[in-house]
Amino acid sequence: MTQITLRIESPRQADVVRLVEALDVYQSRLYPPESNHFLDLEGLAGPNVRFFVARGDGRALGCGALRIDPAGWGELKRMFVSPEARGLRLGRRLLERIEEEARREGLSCMRLETGIHQPEALGLYRSAGYVEREAFGAYSPDSLSVFMEKCL
């Protein structure tokens, strides 16, 4: 790969839809439906969401979204890197870019929900300064979920 780009894009593009579908399949294998908190394509395209795509040589390799809550904080949603692109640090780059956007939007903190069966994601978030917290927003406590937060 010659160049990696990270940009805000529409989640409705065919290659991005395939990436989000791959994420759905991956998470559905790990968790029951009641423990998956998918933000669908309509939600990802909403005015309170900034959807980022990582591309290598034009191909969609990863994605992540910033959902802006009216209370003044951001939520990380739909972080995923395709298996073929793992090891390129795209997850970290996406996370840093989303946090940069959250700061630009004037948000006070970032929050996220991830699952206990995703040690790589948990490691990334912890190494980036996220700490565990109680369930937030519309989430309920779930033994399969880990809720995290980072002040910006």
What is the pTM for the complete model shown? 0.93
Q: Cα separation of 98 and 68, whole Å?
A: 11
Residues 135-152 have a mean pLDDT of 96
Q: Cα separation of 135 and 138, whole Å?
A: 8
Give the DSSP letter of residue 85: G
Closest CA to 121 of 41, 30, 6: 30
Mean of per-residue pLDDT scores for the chain: 95
How high is the pLDDT of residue 1? Answer: 55
H helix runs in 34-139, sequence order: 41-44, 90-104, 119-127
Q: How confident is the model at residue 31 (pLDDT cuts 50, 70, 90)?
A: very high
Across the beta sheet with 4-8, what order do the strands follow? 4-8, 49-56, 59-68, 74-81, 109-115, 145-151, 131-133
How high is the pLDDT of residue 39? Answer: 86
Residues 12-39 have a mean pLDDT of 93
Neighbours of 109 (CB within 10 A): 16
pLDDT at residue 2 is higher than 70: no
pLDDT digits (tens, 9 = 90+) for 79-110: 999 999 988 899 999 999 999 999 999 999 99
How high is the pLDDT of residue 87? Answer: 85
